Amino acid sequence: MTILEKAQLWLSDTFDADTQQEIKQLIDTDENTLADSFYKDMEFGTGGMRGIMGAGTNRINKYTLGKATQGLANYLIQTLPNKQLSVVIAFDCRHNSQLFAKVVADVLSANNIKVYLFEDLRPTPELSFAVKHLGCDAGIVLTASHNPPEYNGYKVYWGDGGQIVPPHDNKIIDEVNSLEFSEINFNANEDLIEVIGKEVDDAFVNASVKNVAFNTAGKENLKIVFTSLHGTSIVSVPDALEKAGYPDVHIVEEQRVPNGDFPTVASPNPEEPAALKMATDLAEKINADIVIGTDPDCDRLGIAVRDLEGNMKLLNGNQTMCLMTNFLIKKWEEAGKLNGKQFVGSTIVSTNLVNEIAASYGVETKVGLTGFKWIAKMVREAEGTQDFIGGGEESFGYMVGDFVRDKDAVTATVLACEIAADAKAKGSSMYQELLQIYVDNNFYKEHLISLVKKGMDGAQQIAQMMVDLRENPVTEIDGSKVNFVYDYEASTKTDLLKNTVETIDIPKSNVLIYETLEGTKVAARPSGTEPKIKFYFSVRGELCCIEKAKEVEAELDAKVQRIIKEMELS
């Protein structure tokens, strides 16, 4: 079927007048946008959907969302028969999120499923919490995380509060793909839709604070700057910090009001220093100790602290997760709760320093694919046999305990402040604590490059890059022989020096990792939610003392740049 033929199907009575009008206009005036809107179907993948809003099969709209929801409803009814099913729905600050949330609620209620719908925007981790708190069978959040303003998306959670994983994910996908748009039931049963708000908010914030409140000294002396970057965290984070006992919190007022256009930033991504500039400027003005910013759906956070010279320095996600993991394990040890039955969670592209930290306390590190749904799966599978302390990944997310089964910037914000207050009370700083971790273990330096390749051509280029890396493997990186090649799509770990191959017992994913004899790692991974291919670099060296930190860091930075140049990625 040609693109034009696919588009003309959307001129039928299955679609409303506004949609038909938008399609007619594309057919008449915009061949390129028409092609991008219909050249493929919006994939309901294992993490849900994320894409540009508009009419068409490759767009986020009431019909692609309706089809996904009808498929989910069908699967829930088949899998959990003879019970009153229930689903909780949340949404973020993006354009149409509230409208889309109501469409999704309508479809579920039309299928005789009870719906709990948040009254207004809420952080994504609160949705994860609400699934378990309300005893629901599933949860849905309308969000596109930190994507540009033209995007929206849809994530599905199972009854344990974690995002869907095997076997449910592929079965739901099959159900969605088997449907025609004409089979969506949009006829809402309003009696089955219940609006929720404050009761769940209070329970979530109380649980969040309870999980990271350690009676830390010096809270009143910690000066905090916080920005919600126009997102959902404004409804939860200030409340959580107040309940945790932090009186000196300064909010970036220009970014306080939720706004799907994110008017003060080029990208609402706390991984990028530019996104936190207003916050760090305010911190310099008032001499704050710590800056924290969250992304629009409040599952990731960026942290800036003062370095040894007193300048604000943005920590990367690996550094944050190392600080948080080390602090939490230490608190468990002080409380006499470590008995060899605890674990922390990490991912295949995150720093190995977390593994070293955990091992130094006799704690296991479980490593899964990128994405917190895999850490949530670890927690579920360990129930009754092991305690989960915390887990994170390099992309600025962290999760504490098992009351939430997704990355959670509300709880992580409070935890970051606990670490900073504790350090300050001891005459140290959060940054000094990080450097001490490097002294105690190894100095790890990570770097990320994202190559953006948009549209049909971009998708083909990304695919070809992965083919080339597999068919012509790198054998040496910066003068060190590649020892292991991990191919998560083929589920193989190849020892190039011994010429042996082992099977990797992790679900398949399009990720390739090279590891050298001296511990350098380079990973390649196409993004599942954005038109990007990501390259992750990790190098390490010994640090004898904090005073030598700048010198060692400069050496490691130079090493990363040599590798980037060597691989022709600059």
The residues annotated with a catalytic role in the active site are: 145
Cα gap 415→420, rounded to integer Å: 9
* Alpha helix ranges (H) inside 39-96: 62-79
List, in order, residues 6 or more apart from 363 with CB less than 8 Å away: 329, 338, 342, 343, 344, 389
DSSP 548: G
Contact 22, 54 (CB under 8 A): yes
Cα gap 406→122, rounded to integer Å: 14
Q: Name the residue with tokens 């092609």.
A: 35
Closest residue by Cα to residue 540 from 517, 512, 565, 514: 517
Sign of CA dihedral 54, 55, 58, 60: positive
How would you classify residue 397: left for phi > 0, otherwise alpha for psi between -120 and 50, otherwise beta?
Answer: beta
- Say what the alpha-carbon torsion angle 400, 402, 408, 412 is, to the nearest 10 degrees: -20
Query: Distances in Å between the alpha carbon of 275 and those of 146, 230, 255, 329, 353?
Result: 11, 11, 10, 31, 27
* Cβ-defined contacts of 55-61 (< 8 Å, 24+): 55/10, 55/15, 55/19, 55/22, 55/23, 55/26, 56/7, 56/10, 56/23, 56/26, 57/6, 60/100, 60/151, 60/152, 60/153, 60/154, 61/19
* Alpha helix ranges (H) inside 335-371: 353-360
Q: Which amino acid is at 514?
A: Y
Instruction: Name residue 117's beta-bridge partners.
Output: 89, 195
List, in order, residues 6 or more apart from 498 with CB less than 8 Å away: none
